[in-house]
Amino acid sequence: MKRVGFQLKVKEALIDEYVEHHKQVWPEMLAALRQAGWHNYSLFLRQDGLLFGYFETPDSLEAAQAKMASTEINTRWQQFMAPYFESANNARPDEMFLELREVFHLD
């Protein structure tokens, strides 16, 4: 299982709304993530909007993203979430992941 850490930046003015939407993620989106092999998926957010995400996958980040990109529900979710993120090129949030290098894992 590959552990993936990534970061994004949520617009500070929209942090509260972003958090509210994640209290009830669409059931179809949750099912798609599970079917695509995303496990132990978590998001952590600083007060300034820096978002750290983590998940485990049997695939690479790119392969895991490609599986999700092939679903209609992911397309709708990414369009819905796009206004919440800082983006220089209007990319979808799932296309802006800055993958972080793992430097330590206790196990």
Q: Residue 4: which H helix or E strand, with range?
A: strand 2-9
Q: How many residues does the chain have?
A: 107
- Strands across the sheet containing 50-57: 39-45, 50-57, 2-9, 98-100
Closest CA to 87 of 6, 2, 10: 10
Task: Please give the Cα distance from 29 to 48 (Å, whole number).
Answer: 26
**Candidates 21, 22, 39, 105; catalytic one:** 22
The total of other beta-carbon atoms located within 10 Å of residue 84's CB is: 21
Told to judge if 105 belongs to the known catalytic residues of this protein, a careful annotator would answer no
Q: Any idea which residues carry the catalytic annotation?
A: 22
